[in-house]
Structure 1
Amino acid sequence: MTLAALALACLLAITVCYYLVCWVNPFGRCRTCTGTGLLMPTGRLRSRPKPCRRCQATGRRLRIGRRLHNHSTTARAAARRIRDDAHR
């Protein structure tokens, strides 16, 4: 097995594993609030934590791979609708 074939096989394995992770668990931790849903204030005394705007205080974000999957599914369905409407 050549080095290029081995690299391609590793890349394919990583892609399939990431696809499975996105399928089984489409949500990951928010990187801004580290999954807590709250932003801790810095530099102020006695200030309250604020809800995270990035994840709407849920602590979870949709993974990039799942966003791509949802977008491609929506685009494919729209293309089918356009094609079916043109044939009528």
Structure 2
Amino acid sequence: MSVHDDLTMAQRCLDDLSRSVGRLEQQLGSTDLEMRRVRADADHLRESVALLRAAVSQPGSSRRPELVTIPDTPYDDSLWIDTDDEGLGTRGRHAP
């Protein structure tokens, strides 16, 4: 099965879920916190699948991100002159 077919199947399942949640809202009401949470989760899933479909449909989206090399050389100490040592307080002052 292709990615497009899997995304279509996922979209159909989400459509079924949305209809079921709608029926539950009619029966239970939409003011209940749990019902609002279920509706929000279903909507988030729908948005996530739409974003995934858009990402897959873009040409070149299967490329791996470019790696960034981080040098092993130490940082310049002058970059840290105006900072505080975390947990130790400000320089020149004593902890209580």
Q: TM-score by structure 2 length?
A: 0.33
Q: Which has the higher strand share?
A: 1
Choose 1 or 2 for highest CA Rg: 2
Q: Which has the higher contact order (CA 8 A, sep 6+)?
A: 1
